[in-house]
Amino acid sequence: MGSLEGKVAWVSGGSGGIGSATLRRFVKEGAAVVCSDINDEAGEKLVAELKSAGGQAVYSHCDVSKLKEVQASIDGAVSEFGRIDVLFNNAATSTGGYVADLDPDGWEHSLRVMLTAAMYGMKAAVPHMIEQGEGSIISTSSIYGLVSNAGNAPYATAKAGLINLTRSAALDYGRKGIRANCICPGAVETPMLDAVVGLGLKSREAIADMHALGRTIQADEVANLVLFLASDESSAITGQAIPIDGGLLVGCDLTGVPPMQ
């Protein structure tokens, strides 16, 4: 028996990176899954892979910035599989610039995809979870929900807001058997990290060297944390923002003393 046997999970941003790694992990642990995304080709290819491995999986085209599409996708998951046990708000976008130079439309889109969309997911899934008497809500925040950097206000603001939205949901619904937590990844080997390296300001090696582990994080490692939070093994954990950053945020080097090699 897998740790998610009999459970149903809905994952936004499911077609690549952390989302696809998590869906593979969920299916391996016995969950029926819904891959929600706007990248239809990648999403359908992933679902075909999951099915060929014996998993229960469906693809759902869903623009998470639109409440009607999120509601329809989650209701469709319940219609297909009879329940929803895990809501994983994982969709993300990327835009940036110095604060006074930000494009208002880009700002609004960033907050809608990474913050408002999580509220939409909760709005659609929580009534089903209340009826069941249980559920786990997991959202992908970031180390940039805990700290920030120059030129990154839309992303960092959305991710910080997501942490307190999660805390609010944990308080609102804890007595209904529903838990809510955030993960806060650091530099994960995904297309988003490729885009960061592509800016040409820091090499992949320099980014890896900033971590206490001396390396970046693999998507499968993040999926393991999501699996833990989705499973009953984390039954006493709610309202938390959990870094998974390889020790990226634990130090501040003012001395230049090198770590042991």
Considering the domain boundaries, does residue 32 fall inside one? yes
- DSSP helix/strand/coil, 131: helix
- Please report, to the nearest 10 degrees, the dihedral formed by the alpha carbons of residues 96, 99, 102, 106 taken in order: 50
Considering the domain boundaries, does residue 261 fall inside one? no
Mean pLDDT over all residues of the chain? 95
Distance CA 159, CA 115 (A): 7
**How many Cα neighbours within 13 Å face the side chain of 248?**
21
pTM over 0.85: yes
Catalytic residue, candidates 59, 120, 144, 155 = 155
Considering the domain boundaries, does residue 42 fall inside one? yes
Distance CA 39, CA 129 (A): 27
Distance CA 81, CA 215 (A): 39
Is 155 a known active-site residue? Answer: yes
Considering the domain boundaries, does residue 203 fall inside one? no
Considering the domain boundaries, does residue 209 fall inside one? no
Considering the domain boundaries, does residue 72 fall inside one? yes
Considering the domain boundaries, does residue 73 fall inside one? yes
- Among 151, 70, 73, smallest CA distance to 116 is for 70
Considering the domain boundaries, does residue 172 fall inside one? yes
Reported as a single tens digit per residue, the pLDDT across 69-114 is 999 999 999 999 999 999 999 999 978 889 999 999 999 999 999 9
Q: For residue 77, count CB atoms less than 10 angstroms from its CB and return exposed for 0-12, middle for 13-18, buried for 19 or more.
A: buried
Q: What is the pLDDT of residue 192?
A: 84
Reported as a single tens digit per residue, the pLDDT across 132-187 is 999 999 999 999 999 999 999 999 999 999 999 999 999 999 999 999 999 999 99
How many folded domains does the chain comprise?
A: 1
Domain that holds residue 24: 8-188+219-242
For residue 101, what are the CA distances in angstroms to 104, 157, 176?
9, 16, 44
CATH of the domain at 146: 3.40.50.720
Residue 254 in tokens: 């003012």
